[in-house]
């Protein structure tokens, strides 16, 4: 019996019983009862992702010959500039080191200093690293932070740009997925892979296909929310590994890393006649009275706090921006890349921003924002916490973050609100109705 460890786990010469066990633990069903199979057979090799399975089942492979095909690519880094790690950040890094972890997920809530922790992890491991992300905004944010904290120019791969860095590269998964031949040329050149926003792993073919090409010595994921609405958390663990370190929001709040949140539930009075969620969302984006409530709420809030309005629909964003008038920053995915980049730079000085959830709902650092107005309802726990995360970070003179949660008079809205209230209670947010 032999196990080859490279970009995957490759089991050779194992018994039929163990083969059955491997297949069973890599076969799942989603909410639609569709089969998700993570294993494949190639000749006498049974191949599965390099996640938590082997560690969880070492007793099955006692006496096996292990061939280590992982790639070790040393790199040197200076100490991070002007950074003193918070106690919980140091504890996370020490735990990874003491337990000799080479794979796994680090869970840090929004505001916990995810970027600093990740870059210090890369520095301590001393490996040429590639950071996998899924948006241009996040790629640029990583590039800026790496230059500021590590004094190096990170390479970037995204769109029409393919420029690898000497020590660190940030790559958009979509670009790597689209260019498989070029991907094969680079995968052997990195000793550490970091999956940013790792909760996406397992739900998108791009993440899985790209990640499973890298034979890097280290494979880590970092996220605020390593769970899936479908309940298939195990897909994340099968690809990236178990949660190896986590920090609770209360610990971060105690160290002033995040602020307390107050949620105000606003009843819109809007009564849609919708037979589906999609129809409901379409109707609410077009309702004048509801949109006026959003606009007036945002205008009042912006008098005292920089305010962010998030909606799921581009047309809704444009309609609200037109109603707001004045100096409002508008950001959505249909803008040209240059325009979007310019507006992203203007956000930090703006009092009022209206954007789609897809562009600003996840990952982007906006510590100046004090108020979030949810123009579209959010049912997903992951997306809700990401949205609230835009106003939870501390900034000079900012003592608390505020959320305006709009409730409509229909069953779809009521069910969605109940989901959100459960999350608010779980996170200890103050709710005012």
DSSP symbols for 378-423: ---HHHHHHHHTTS-S--TT---EEEEEEE-SSHHHHHHHHHHHHH
> pLDDT tens across 75-101, in order?
999 999 989 999 999 999 999 998 888
Q: What is the mean pLDDT of residues 4-18?
A: 95
How deeply is 265 buried, as exposed, middle or buried, from its count of CB atoms within 10 A (0-12, 13-18, 19+)? Answer: middle
Write down the pTM of the prediction.
Answer: 0.83
> pLDDT tens across 121-176, in order?
999 999 999 999 988 888 998 999 999 999 999 999 998 899 999 999 999 999 99
Q: Cα separations (Å) of 215 from 9, 47, 190, 353?
A: 10, 14, 8, 42
- Asked if 244 and 95 touch (Cβ cutoff 8 Å), the reply is yes
Q: What is the pLDDT of residue 345?
A: 84
34 vs 175, which has greater pLDDT? 175
What DSSP state is assigned to residue 187?
G
- Least Cα distance to 77 among 111, 106, 118 occurs for 118
Q: What is the pLDDT of residue 203?
A: 59
Q: What is the pLDDT of residue 277?
A: 94
Angle formed by the axes of helices 288-302 and 277-286, nearest 10°: 70
- Asked if 222 and 198 touch (Cβ cutoff 8 Å), the reply is yes
Cα 273 to its chain centre, rounded Å, is: 34
Q: What is the pLDDT of residue 159?
A: 85
pLDDT at 247 over 60: yes
- Least Cα distance to 224 among 393, 372, 360, 106 occurs for 106
| Contact residues for 412 (Cβ-Cβ < 8 A; gap 6+) | 272, 274, 277, 280, 377
Neighbours of 52 (CB within 10 A): 22
Stated length of the chain: 433
DSSP, collapsed to helix, strand or coil, labels residue 144 as helix
- Asked if 36 and 29 touch (Cβ cutoff 8 Å), the reply is yes
- Least Cα distance to 239 among 48, 20, 40 occurs for 48
Give the DSSP H/E element, type plus range, for residue 163.
Answer: strand 161-163
Q: What is the pLDDT of residue 4?
A: 97
- Least Cα distance to 48 among 178, 245, 234 occurs for 234
Q: What is the pLDDT of residue 383?
A: 86
120 vs 359, which has greater pLDDT? 120
C-alpha torsion angle, residues 202, 207, 212, 214 (rounded to 10)? -140
Tokens encoding 398: 């900012």
DSSP, collapsed to helix, strand or coil, labels residue 185 as helix
353 vs 203, which has greater pLDDT? 353
What DSSP state is assigned to residue 375?
S
Please report the sign of the dihedral spanned by the C-alpha atoms of residue 226, residue 386, residue 152, residue 124.
negative
What DSSP state is assigned to residue 74?
B
């Amino acid at each position: 019996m032999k196990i080859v460890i490279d970009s995957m786990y490759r089991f050779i010469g194992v018994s039929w019983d163990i083969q059955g066990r491997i297949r069973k633990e890599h076969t799942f069903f989603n909410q639609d009862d569709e089969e998700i199979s993570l294993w494949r057979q190639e000749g006498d090799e049974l191949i599965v992702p390099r996640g938590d399975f082997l560690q969880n089942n070492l007793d099955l492979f006692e006496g096996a010959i292990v061939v280590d095909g992982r790639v070790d690519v040393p790199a040197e880094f200076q100490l991070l500039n002007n950074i003193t790690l918070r106690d919980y950040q140091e504890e996370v890094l020490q735990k990874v080191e003491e337990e000799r972890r080479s794979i796994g997920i680090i869970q840090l809530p929004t505001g916990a200093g995810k970027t600093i922790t990740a870059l210090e992890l890369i520095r301590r491991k001393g490996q040429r690293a590639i950071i996998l992300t899924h948006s241009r905004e996040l790629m640029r944010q990583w590039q800026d932070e790496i230059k500021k904290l590590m004094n190096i120019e990170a390479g970037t791969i995204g769109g029409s740009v393919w420029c690898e860095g000497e020590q660190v590269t940030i790559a958009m998964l979509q670009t790597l997925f689209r260019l498989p031949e070029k991907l094969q040329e680079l995968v052997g050149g990195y000793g550490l892979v970091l999956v940013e926003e790792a909760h996406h792993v397992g739900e998108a073919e791009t993440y899985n296909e790209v990640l499973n090409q890298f034979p890097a010595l280290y494979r880590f994921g970092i996220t605020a929310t390593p769970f899936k609405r479908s309940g298939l958390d195990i897909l994340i663990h099968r690809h990236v590994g178990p949660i190896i370190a986590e920090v609770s929001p209360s610990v971060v709040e105690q160290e002033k890393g995040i602020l307390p949140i107050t949620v105000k539930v606003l009843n819109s009075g809007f009564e849609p006649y919708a037979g589906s969620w999609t129809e409901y969302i379409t109707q609410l984006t077009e309702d004048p009275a509801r949109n006026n409530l959003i606009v007036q709420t945002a205008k009042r809030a912006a008098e005292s706090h920089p305010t962010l309005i998030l909606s799921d629909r581009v047309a809704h964003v444009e309609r609200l921006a037109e109603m707001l008038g004045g100096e409002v920053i508008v950001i959505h995915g249909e803008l040209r890349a240059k325009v979007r980049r310019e507006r992203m730079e203007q956000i930090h000085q703006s009092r009022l921003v209206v954007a789609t959830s897809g562009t600003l709902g996840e990952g982007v650092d906006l510590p100046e924002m004090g108020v979030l107005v949810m123009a579209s309802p959010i049912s997903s726990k992951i997306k809700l916490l990401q949205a609230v995360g835009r106003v939870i970070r501390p900034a000079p003179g900012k003592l608390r973050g505020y959320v305006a949660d709009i409730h409509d008079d229909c069953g779809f809205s009521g069910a969605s609100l109940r989901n959100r209230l459960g999350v608010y209670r779980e996170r200890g947010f103050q709710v005012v109705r």
